[in-house]
């Protein structure tokens, strides 16, 4: 049996197989019993019929006949009653023989040194056995069909509480802290034990989610203030005309890092929120986000001695979550900037998303399937990254029902293509893109 079948189907199949086996055993037993009983009755009837014939008259002037479906012969009998050589060779007792072209039951006895043979045609018995076989076969098929129907009804009744429990567990409200327990609605049986196990597991899951939300909220709250202080201090330092070029470059790096940290904090906060808790999210068009990211990363890429190409093809006016779109595009541009030593980085907008290409070191084919997993890096010797950027991109795309695809370029480099799915309901808010650091 295929164990991948649903539990209801397995119950029906097992019930039908069990019924088929039981009905089959009974059918075979009935046929075998009737066959044995028929042979036993025929043997007894022939033996009694032969003795009755022998007791009716004198053998020298025989004038009695057997039943109409019987034939009688004896040794030294007159005319048609005489034994044929084939019948004369039969041993005493009950047996089945072929006489002429027909099958007969034969009872052979020796009385006073003379052999007597009584034959009975098997046609009537064969007709009865054929009829019995048809009746038993029809009964077997009907019992299997009935077992399928009863098994289906039984499976529905047995699986009803399990299906109900599965729907309750899948309900999104089960992760709420005030969600009622499941097991009081079920009897103290296996389903009740399963519901109790779900209650215990869901309770631990709620506690874990609650701790994670509190931790995320606390960390984001504690980080916002120092990040705002850093950003404000950097703006004041950059406004100082006496700041030399080298110092200004360092301050710019600090400002850029604080902006990225602030963006990461916002991203992690939004990922920690409920899936449909997006009513107050700020949205922006793809072109708006791409213009801002091209300004920020284009300068950094050119400072590294690389060529940066930005192709802002005409795009639709759909609006997307600003924080998530910034994070996805920024991480892919940062990844291209980090792993490209010569050549170029290209950002291309499409009708349904965007593409980031580079001429960097590329990713070996065997490592490509694992690149979107946490703590996986393309080249472990480059920099101090933790390998979380592409994992974050994948999480955001999954959350927003976007898709990201990684392919290699010839002769070297990577190509990341992101397909954006417009949100079902646009959030209220006006985009406020951060200025370039």
Residues 6+ apart with CB under 8 A from 387: 374, 375, 376, 377
DSSP characters for 392-404? HHHHHHHHHT-EE
Q: Which domain holds residue 115?
A: 7-142
Rounded-to-integer distance, Cα 248 and Cα 245, Å = 5
Backbone φ and ψ for 110, nearest 5 degrees, come out as: -105, 120
pLDDT score recorded for residue 211: 81
Say whether 328 sits in a helix, a strand or coil: helix
Q: Is 356 among the domain residues?
A: yes
Domain boundary among 78, 109, 142: 142
Provide the pLDDT for residue 428. 43
Under DSSP, the state recorded for 173 is G
Which secondary-structure segment (H or E) carries 146?
helix 123-170
Distance CA 347, CA 351 (A): 14
Please check whether residue 194 lies inside any domain of the structure: no
CA–CA distance, 116 with 36 (Å, rounded to integer): 25
Beta strand 93-99 with 102-111 is antiparallel
Q: Which residue has the tokens 């940066």?
A: 308
* CATH number of domain containing 288: 3.30.565.10
CA distance 322 to 430: 10
The answer to whether position 201 is within a domain reads no
Tokens of 272: 């920690």
Write out the DSSP string of 174-187: GGSTTPPPSGGGS-
Q: Which residue has the tokens 């009716």?
A: 56
Both structure tokens of 127:
């007709």
> 15 to each of 4, 26, 140, 143, 160, how far by Cα in Å?
17, 17, 14, 11, 17
- Residues 72/117, Cβ–Cβ less than 8 Å: yes
**Residue 11 lies inside a defined structural domain of this protein:** yes
Residue 251's φ and ψ, nearest 5 degrees, are -65, -40
pLDDT at 75: 80
* Structural domains of the chain, count: 2
- Say what the pLDDT of residue 212 is: 77
Q: Is residue 258 one of the residues assigned to a domain?
A: no
In contact, 348 and 311? CB cutoff 8 Å: yes
Burial class of residue 45 (count of CB atoms within 10 Å of its CB; 0-12, 13-18, 19+): middle
Of 111, 142, 173, the last residue of a domain is: 142
330 conformational bin, left if phi > 0, alpha if psi -120 to 50, beta if neither: alpha
Neighbours of 342 (CB within 10 A): 10
Q: Is position 187 within any domain?
A: no
Helices (H), 239-285: 245-272
Which domain-ending residue is among 88, 117, 142? 142
Contact present, 322 and 284 (Cβ < 8 Å): yes
Residue 48 within a domain: yes
pLDDT tens-digit profile, the chain (437 residues): 455 667 778 888 888 888 889 988 988 898 888 888 888 888 888 888 888 877 765 555 555 556 567 888 878 777 778 888 888 888 999 888 888 778 888 889 888 788 888 888 888 888 888 888 899 899 889 988 988 888 888 888 888 888 888 888 887 777 777 778 888 888 888 888 888 888 888 888 888 878 877 777 777 767 777 878 888 888 888 888 888 888 888 888 888 778 777 777 777 777 776 555 555 578 889 999 999 999 989 988 998 999 999 999 887 788 998 888 989 999 899 989 988 989 999 999 998 899 999 998 887 777 777 777 765 655 544 444 445 678 888 888 988 899 999 888 777 889 999 999 877 554 444 444 444 44
**pLDDT at residue 436 in the model:** 46
273 in a structural domain: no
Q: Indicate the SS3 state at residue 310.
A: strand
pLDDT of residue 354: 95
| Residues across the chain | 437
Return the pLDDT at 210.
Answer: 80
């Amino acid at each position: 049996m295929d164990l991948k079948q649903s539990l209801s189907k397995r119950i029906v199949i097992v019930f039908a197989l069990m019924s088929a086996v039981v009905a089959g055993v009974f059918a075979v037993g009935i046929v075998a019993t009737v066959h044995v009983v028929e042979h036993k009755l025929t043997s007894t009837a022939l033996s009694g019929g032969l003795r009755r014939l022998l007791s009716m008259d004198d053998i020298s002037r025989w004038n009695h006949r057997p039943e109409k479906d019987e034939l009688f012969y004896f040794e030294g009998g007159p005319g048609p009653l005489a034994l044929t050589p084939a019948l004369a060779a039969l041993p005493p007792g009950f047996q089945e023989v072929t006489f002429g072209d027909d099958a007969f039951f034969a009872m052979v006895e020796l009385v006073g040194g003379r052999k007597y043979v009584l034959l009975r045609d098997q046609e009537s018995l064969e007709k009865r056995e054929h009829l019995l076989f048809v009746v038993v076969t029809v009964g077997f098929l009907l019992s299997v069909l009935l077992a399928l129907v009863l098994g289906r009804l039984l499976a529905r009744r047995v699986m009803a509480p399990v299906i109900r429990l599965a729907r309750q567990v899948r309900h999104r409200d089960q992760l709420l802290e005030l969600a009622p327990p499941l097991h009081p609605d079920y009897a103290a049986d296996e389903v009740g034990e399963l519901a109790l196990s779900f209650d215990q597991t869901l309770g631990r899951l709620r506690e874990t989610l609650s701790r994670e939300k509190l931790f995320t909220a606390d960390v984001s709250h504690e980080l916002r203030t120092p990040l705002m202080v850093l950003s404000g201090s950097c703006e004041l330092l950059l406004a100082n005309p006496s700041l030399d070029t080298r110092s200004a470059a360092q301050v710019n790096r600090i400002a850029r890092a604080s902006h990225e940290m602030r963006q990461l904090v916002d991203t992690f906060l939004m990922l920690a929120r409920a899936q449909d808790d997006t009513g107050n999210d700020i949205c922006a068009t793809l072109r708006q986000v791409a213009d801002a990211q091209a300004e920020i990363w284009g300068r950094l890429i050119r400072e590294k001695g690389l060529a940066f190409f930005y192709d802002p093809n005409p795009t639709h006016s759909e609006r997307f979550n600003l924080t998530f779109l910034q994070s996805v595009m920024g991480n892919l541009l940062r990844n291209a900037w980090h792993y490209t030593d010569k050549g170029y980085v290209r950002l291309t907008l499409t009708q349904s998303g965007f593409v980031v290409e580079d001429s960097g070191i590329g990713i070996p084919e065997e490592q490509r399937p694992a690149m979107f997993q946490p703590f996986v890096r393309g080249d472990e010797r480059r920099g101090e990254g933790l390998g979380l950027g592409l994992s974050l991109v994948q999480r955001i795309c999954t959350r927003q029902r976007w898709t990201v695809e990684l392919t290699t370029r010839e002769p070297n480099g990577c190509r990341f293509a992101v397909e954006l799915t417009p949100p079902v309901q646009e959030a209220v808010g006006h985009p406020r893109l951060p200025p370039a650091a």
